[in-house]
Amino acid sequence: MNRLDPAYGALALRLALGVMALSHGLLKVLVFTIPGTVGYFGSLGLPAIAAYATIALEVGGGLALIAGVLVRPIAALYVPLMLGAAIFGHGGNGWVFSAPNGGWEYPVFLAVASLAQVFLGAGAFALLPEAGRKPAFA
């Protein structure tokens, strides 16, 4: 087993993206609440379905990324989600994410990291590794 195998880099990225997506989704459910999130999306001119889809992708997709299931499609869906967050949610707040209400640098970084995950694939220790790749634990 080669510890410099790119599969371990893909694993690290997958876990980081999964935890980040899950934590933001749970924040929308448990802290902001679903009605509060729907209201916030509405204040941005976005339909309620966008709030529900965002929560579903962040919670369900985050869990899927952590587990290593459907990694490329989930990561691909996360790219436009994060670009949308950058444009609609953070675009008017400036670039730096430490700005009041968060700037757009962080969601754009997550979009690029998600795109990298699409290219890299699931990596090591995925429950459903891509065709032709043996799981690292086999």
Residue-level pLDDT, tens digit, the chain, 138 residues: 566 789 999 999 999 999 999 999 999 999 999 999 999 999 999 999 999 999 999 999 999 999 999 999 999 999 999 999 999 999 988 888 888 888 899 999 999 999 999 999 999 999 987 765 655 554
Place of tokens 């709030």: 51
**pTM of the shown model:** 0.89
- Predicted local confidence at residue 94, as pLDDT: 86
- Predicted local confidence at residue 67, as pLDDT: 98
- Predicted local confidence at residue 133, as pLDDT: 62
Q: What is the DSSP string of 62-126?
A: HHHHHHTSSHHHHHHHHHHHHHHIIIIISGGG-S-TTSTT--SHHHHHHHHHHHHHHHH-S-TT-
Give the chain's radius of gyration (CA, Å): 16
Residue count (the chain): 138
120 Cβ contact partners less than 8 Å away, ≥ 6 residues apart: 6, 9, 10, 13
Per-domain boundaries in the chain? 7-120
**Structural tokens at position 46:** 């976005």
